[in-house]
Structure formats: C-alpha cells, structure tokens
Amino acid sequence: MSWSDILYPDNPARREKVARLHQELINCIELNFDTTNELIGVLNTHCQFKLHPIKMNMNGTVQENCDILLAAIKSIQDMLQAIDARLKRELEPDLYRKLHDFQEPDAKKMQILRNVATVVSGLAGTVAMGIFIKLALSQVVSRVLTQTTMVLAKIGASVIGAVAGMILGVGVDLILSAILGAVERDQLEAKIQELNALVSEFKPASHEYNKTIIKISCMLP
C-alpha cells in the first residue's frame, strides 16, 4: 500500500468507483450501437433504406464514438423526415394533420398512409407503414430519440469524452495514475461526480431507447 493510500484510505474505493462508472458508461455506448444497428436492419429490410451498420472504434475516444452514434441516428431521422415531407405534399392538410395527431389511433393513420403508399418511397407494404407510424408518428419514440441524442451530445462534450483510450479503459488508468494523495482525492471526487451524472442520465435513456426499438422489432412478421 502506498503512503498516499495510508494517508487517504478512501482513495482506493474512489478509484474503483471511477473504474466502475466508466465501465457502465462504455456498456451504455455499446448498447446504443447494438440498438441503432437493430433499427438500421429493420429499416433496410422493410423500408428499402440503404443505411450502413455502425461499429465502435475501440481505439477512439468516447466523443468519437458518440459522434458515430449521433451521425447514424441523424441519418435515420433525416430519411424519416424526407418521407414525412413527401407525405405533406401528397396528402390533404387535414389528413396530414391527423397523421401527426397523437390522439389518432394507429389504425386510422394506417388507413391514411394506404392512400399514398404507392407514390411515397419507403412506405411500400403494411409492415413499412407500421414501422413509419411507430418511429416517425409516435410521441414516445420521438421523445426517446431526442433524449438519446441530447445525452450523447452531452457525453461527447464532457471532459471524459475527450480522453484518449477511454473505450478500452486505458484512459481510466491514465487518469488514476496521474493524481495522488489529497489532489487525487479531490480529482477523483470530481471524476466520480462527472461520471455519476452522465451514467445516471445515459443508462436509463439507453435502456429506454433499446426497449423501444426492440418492441418495434418484435412486432414485425
């Protein structure tokens, strides 16, 4: 045991907590990659999208991986918005309004989409229309996607996000080895507070995103 640990006996526990919170953060990022790839597969299969699967850069920073996720989610949202823009041009204003009315039942929205499915790319077939309704016209899914992108942006912009080697855990070792004693105590507490805030927000958002997309996938034939 080092003199630092003798003088500041809580520091080893703080180091362990930093390492544990870091791993929770990385687990959430991995879950978001898996969830986004699941969504990409669904859209490519049933809506004729041509999105490329994404892969974590294990040698990159947290920020770089968050940027990959943000770019993929934005591509999905852009394609859904392009379909929505086409619908706005093709539908009567009242019908288009009903599509975006969260109080309207999905069956009614499906009926509206059937009238224009043949002229709107990405809505060919009942399954594709159902996916569009669940993804683009659902208040819950819209909120989940917005929440996910906001948290990813926050993590990418954090001090942790810019540290090289964080995905593989090397960055954590660098952080822990660079600070000792009373300085270590204070800096570890700062890292714990930062990571704890990020994980407490990111973890539930990640699980909700995953649950939402898996639920949509399980409804498919």
pLDDT of 1 > 60? The answer is no
Residue 179's pLDDT band (boundaries 50, 70, 90)? very low
Instruction: Please write the tens of the pLDDT for every residue from 88-121.
Output: 888 889 988 998 888 888 888 888 888 887 777 7
Measure the N-to-C terminal CA separation of the chain; round to a whole number of Å.
59
Listed by start position, the domains of the chain span 3-219
Q: What is the rounded CA–CA span in Å between residue 191 and residue 160?
A: 8
Instruction: Please write the tens of the pLDDT for every residue from 112-152.
Output: 888 887 777 777 778 888 888 888 777 778 888 888 888 88
pLDDT of 2 > 60? The answer is no
For the residues of 132-201, what is the DSSP string, one character each? HHHHHS-HHHHHHHHHHHHHHHHHHHSTGGGSTTTTTTHHHHHHHHT--HHHHHHHHHHHHHHHHHHHHH
Q: By CB neighbour count within 10 A (0-12 exposed, 13-18 middle, 19+ buried), where does 3 fall?
A: exposed
Residue 167: per-residue pLDDT:
58
Long-range contacts of 177-183 (CB under 8 A, 24+ apart): 180/2, 180/4, 181/4, 181/7, 181/8, 181/11, 182/7, 182/8
Residue 60: per-residue pLDDT:
81
Average pLDDT value for residue range 171-195: 61
Residue 68: per-residue pLDDT:
92
